[in-house]
A and B are shown apart, each in its own frame.
Chain A
Amino acid sequence: MRFSGLRVLKEGLTGNKGWQPHWRDPEPKPAYDMIIIGGGGHGLATAYYLAREHGLTNVAVLEKGYIGGGNVGRNTTIVRANYFLPGNSEFYSHSLRLWEGLEQELNYNVMHSQRGLINLFHSDGQRDAFARRGNAMINQGDDAELLDRDGVRRHLPYLDFDNARFPIYGGLYHPRGGTARHDAVAWGYARGADQRGVDLIQNCEVTGIDIEQGRVTGVQTTRGAIRAKKVGIVVAGRSGQVAAMAGMRLPIESHILQAFVTEGLKPCIDHVVSFGMGHFYISQSDKGGLVFGGDLDFYASYAQRGNMPMMEHVMEAGMTLMPMIGKARVLRSWGGIMDMTPDGSPVIDKAPVEGLYLNCGWCYGGFKAVPGSGYSFAHLMATDRPHAPAAGFRLDRFQTGRGLMDEEGTGSQHNLH
């Protein structure tokens, strides 16, 4: 089934009776060439690119819940390529270019909206740091523009520019940054992978990883044992537990990140705005809700819900920056389990077990990475060689200290990112 404007019109006129499920619901086969554990954005994109780029279709994605039930359906949907450090820059740049062709590629409306992202700064020192970041982005081939105070005012007239503690000096504008519909990204990749023959198996929790003589041979699941020559672990916040099934301890601590959404409002916030000093960022969804969030709660958690202090902090920061949002009523808040690494950057690498591959450590920023991560992880699993833009995401960088990617410059240590 292909989507098109004509099709929507025809279905609209004939009672929408012709739509079909977007993917099959197959029984697991006894064996596959490759198994992807985790049906989040990264797992689904990996399966899609294994089929699309490498012709590998005897592949299963095993998801313990339902497609899109993890972080891929819980994030605040910001897509950007404004990283600074080599290793990160080229990866997110590649990912953003994939985003820009994604709807045509998947024949799926993922509502990618390049509405522009503005990171605000509040001091001369911060301006220098942002100017430098902007230059790094331009050198990478992406777009950046340093706005002064009046420049920001032209885009965001509603901010409180003269806040006593954090007056606004300007902002770094990334016009190609924006948002996308998070569920649709999962669904689009799921459908694309399924159409190419990949089995998407939901309600199938992996409970063990079979290893014989240092080589992976398959997995144990709640729907029986399944054999495979290669297995990829792509389970975000659950990475620690699944890796433990293969006897590994990872440089990951799972934390809680909350997000909030208000009732639907008329369009009022046209960009993605981030207020780093207050740990607050916001955009408006196409339904009209203001979607916003802040920092981690800062303690290990698998609860998928947060605590009140961070809620209060985020609301306070929002009111400081844009007092106009104070009248909007908050409808919902929720949390997701974040796979935090010591340096805040991810891992796409082979595991010490032959045939086992790791994709994890996306912290609070892995939604924008979905296309790039799937592409690079598929490349690694198919060819056993790292894909150039993701070659820096090595697992051994923590042990050797070589190639650490501490984008925030706070130190490579748990609890600092």
Chain B
Amino acid sequence: MRISCPICGERDRREFYYQGAAVALDRPAPDAAAQAWDDYLHNRDNPAGPVREMWHHEAGCGAWLVVTRDTVTHEMLASDLASRVQEAGS
């Protein structure tokens, strides 16, 4: 599995740390209800198919990426810098 980093290009999966579904882009407000925090911290869509995930290019440029990946085929569909995705309003 190879992941494409917008800064470094396509690199071996071993250079990246996997954080999971890209929920971090939509963090609840500190005073949000317990249910919102439970959804954020624990509950997942967990789809068989395309999913948006956070990967960290830790052994490369250090950027956080939002990667769209198919969980059935392991195909990489898109990747962008998390900062850019966040600015664009996810």
A-to-B contact residues, CB < 8 Å: 238, 240-241, 244, 249-254, 298-303, 307, 309, 342, 398-399, 413-415
Contacts and interface: CB of A to CB of B under 8 A. Distances in A.
B38 A399 contact: yes
B18 A240 contact: no
Shortest 10 CB-CB distances between A and B: which pairs?
Answer: A240-B46, A251-B42, A249-B43, A399-B38, A398-B42, A302-B48, A299-B18, A415-B20, A414-B20, A307-B1
Contacts of B12: 309
Using C-beta atoms within 8 Å of the partner chain, give the interface range for chain B: 20 to 34
A342 B72 contact: no
Contact of B74 (A244, A301, A398): A301
Nearest to A415: B20
Is chain B's interface secondary structure helix, strand, loop, or mixed overall?
mixed
Contacts of B47: 240-241
B58 interface: no
B13 A253 contact: no
A250 B44 contact: yes
Nearest to A251: B42
A37 to B, nearest CB: 16
Is chain A's interface secondary structure helix, strand, loop, or mixed overall?
mixed
B73 to A, nearest CB: 7
Interface string B1-39: 100000000001110001111000000000000110011
Nearest to A300: B71
A180 to B, nearest CB: 29
Contacts of B41: 342, 398, 413
A83 B14 CA distance: 31
A303 B73 contact: yes
B87 interface: no
Contacts of A303: 71-74
Given A253-B21, A254-B46, 16 more contacts: A240-B47, A252-B44, A252-B46, A253-B44, A298-B18, A299-B18, A300-B51, A303-B73, A307-B74, A309-B12, A398-B42, A399-B34, A399-B35, A399-B38, A414-B21, A415-B19
B77 to A, nearest CB: 14
Nearest to B39: A249
A356 B85 CA distance: 39
Nearest to A339: B46
Given A253-B21, A298-B18, A399-B38, A414 B48 contact: no
A238 B34 CA distance: 26
Contacts of A249: 39, 43-45
Contacts of A415: 18-20
A414 B18 CA distance: 10
A244 B51 CA distance: 16
Contacts of A309: 12-14
